[in-house]
Structure 1
Amino acid sequence: MDWVKQLNEAINYIEENLAGEISYDTISKIAQCSVYNFQRMFSYIADKPLSEYIRSRRLTLAAFDLLNSTEKIIDIALKYGYESQDAFSRAFKNFHGVLPSIVRNETVQLKSCPKLSFQITIKGENHMNYQIEQWPAFKVMGISHKLKTAAAFEVIPQIWESAWKEGIMKRLIENFPDYRPAGFLGIAAGGQWGDSEEMNYIIAVTSHVDIPECEHIPALAGMQEFSYPAATWAIFEANGELPNAIQKVYKQFYTEWLPNSGYELADLPVIECYMQENRQEVWIAVIKK
């Protein structure tokens, strides 16, 4: 399926269910990627989190309902997923700047968030340095953290901070085997449809690559080993200051590279490689269409 078509079908599903329950499992099925990757992709393309977009669309429609119907405010609140009128009123005021009760009694200025529509963009403003590699199976060793998918963007930076404070990074440095994927690895695993509420985030280093000359480094005490199959990887250079360098690569990948590449996403985690002197790589598994 065409990547841009998948994104627009996911947006259509959200639009059709704004007055009801929106299933992140269904979104990920439509987009054919994990919930976490869809959320990340969406935030880079739309410049806002998926949850904020859904909330803004619902509050936009709620304002229309207040203006054009006689429904009770509590019924409108429940319709758009708020458990109480107070919660709805607070969210409505944060978005529109006025309470919903005022909308029906006074002429006020309201905000509108339009429905998004994705299309291929060919800008050519900034080039991307990348290579396509058929990489053999490999193993990594590290620490895995289970977290709520919806909270991933807030929690992951805290995981890195704790890993430094607790000496995990020091232990990895001291036993660094210097295999590719290189450097410290940030791996978002799981969060696929059917199991989208939770995911694992792994901080690791590569401990073995399935080639004859590579020695297997056993996992250190208290760490786990994770295996990944041979696959085709698009490997992007993301050098520069963090987090902007990584974010720039993701935005260009989803908006420009992937729609025009002839590839689609493979069902494997995205791997971020953090090396020295502001050098980074992003490994994204792909399949030729």
Structure 2
Amino acid sequence: MTDYENSIRVMIDLFGRDYQFALSTDKNNIPSSRYVDTYFDGESFYVVTYGLSKKAAEIADNPNVSLCCSRMTFIGYHTEIRPNEGYVKCPEFWEKEYNQKYVRLWQTMKPETPVEEALLVNNIGMFAICTESENGFDYWIAGLYQGGEVPEGLKLYSFPESRWAVFSAKGSMPEALQTLNTYVWQEWFPNEGQKFQANGMATLEVYSAGDPQSPDYECGIWVPVKKI
């Protein structure tokens, strides 16, 4: 498989299979990082992984190729959390307002309300969003918005067109994601991350399908960035 073919494979993983993201770690199970741009040439989508693809510079320099998805729009619901309480309050929010609140829906997969219908249609729960707020951050449980009515109790959030620093890890939740989050902000950002600045005031958490308690469960953090 060529590097370019690999970028197409990543595109298929990202957009064509229930929003499951292709995530990876290195052979020592250390979180990997890479830079991903998504392009549209008028006919096809291309996801270019900078750490793997030699085609990246050629595509990026092509004036006829534009960055697709001027906005990525998500639908979900959120709560405000203080910064020093995130590693406790975020898992509590998932358990109370997602797992327990919609336990009947997860057992039957038969929605009875507009909100439950929206949860299934938009795959709410495949993503989480962290956005800055006055007293800390707003934490969203979200899905990629498919259009249509936004029921009362749900809201939309859009990310701008962006380049993304993509990080991934493998392990049971929430420990794997929290370890990854600490790595991003305490190790990557003060070092390699200084080459970039945030594009907006939010980050994206990405979850795969499967058992979140499995040691093989995959999750990721996407940080929208732009070069300084």
With normalisation by structure 2, the TM-score equals 0.55
Residue 100 of structure 1 corresponds to: none
Per-residue deviation, residues 205-246 of structure 1 (Å, max 9, x unmatched): 1114xxxxxxx2432443122222212211222232223322
In the alignment, is residue 186 of structure 1 matched against residue 128 of structure 2? yes
Residue 131 of structure 1 corresponds to: 35
In the alignment, is residue 230 of structure 1 matched against residue 161 of structure 2? yes
- CA shift in 2, pair 1:221/1:255, >3 Å: closer
Distance, in Å, in 2 between the alignment partners of 1:152 and 1:248 is: 13
Is the contact between residue 133 and residue 234 of structure 1 (CA under 8 Å) also seen in structure 2? no
Residue 155 of structure 1 corresponds to: 89
Distance, in Å, in 2 between the alignment partners of 1:148 and 1:275 is: 26
Is the contact between residue 35 and residue 163 of structure 2 (CA under 8 Å) also seen in structure 1? no
1:256 CA drift (Å):
4.2
Distance, in Å, in 2 between the alignment partners of 1:201 and 1:128 is: 24
Distance, in Å, in 2 between the alignment partners of 1:198 and 1:248 is: 20
Per-residue deviation, residues 142-175 of structure 1 (Å, max 9, x unmatched): 1121344443333222111112111187437862
Quick check: which one's helix share is greater? 1
Identity of aligned residues (%): 18
Where structure 1 has 5 or more consecutive residues not aligned to the other structure, the ranges are 1-123, 209-215
Distance, in Å, in 1 between the alignment partners of 2:95 and 2:196 is: 35
Residue 285 of structure 1 corresponds to: 224
Residue 203 of structure 1 corresponds to: 141
Per-residue deviation, residues 18-62 of structure 1 (Å, max 9, x unmatched): xxxxxxxxxxxxxxxxxxxxxxxxxxxxxxxxxxxxxxxxxxxxx
Asked which structure has the greater CA Rg, the reply is 1
In the alignment, is residue 175 of structure 1 matched against residue 120 of structure 2? yes
1:201 CA drift (Å):
1.5
- SS of residue in 1 equivalent to 2:173: coil
Q: Which amino acid aligns with 2:141?
A: I
Quick check: which one's strand share is greater? 2
Q: Output the aligned Cα RMSD.
A: 3.1
- SS of residue in 1 equivalent to 2:32: coil
With normalisation by structure 1, the TM-score equals 0.44
The count of aligned residue pairs is 152
Q: Which of 1 and 2 has higher RCO (CA within 8 Å, sep 6+)?
A: 2
Where structure 2 has 5 or more consecutive residues not aligned to the other structure, the ranges are 1-27, 39-67, 107-115, 211-216
- CA shift in 2, pair 1:150/1:126, >3 Å: closer
1:131 CA drift (Å):
3.3
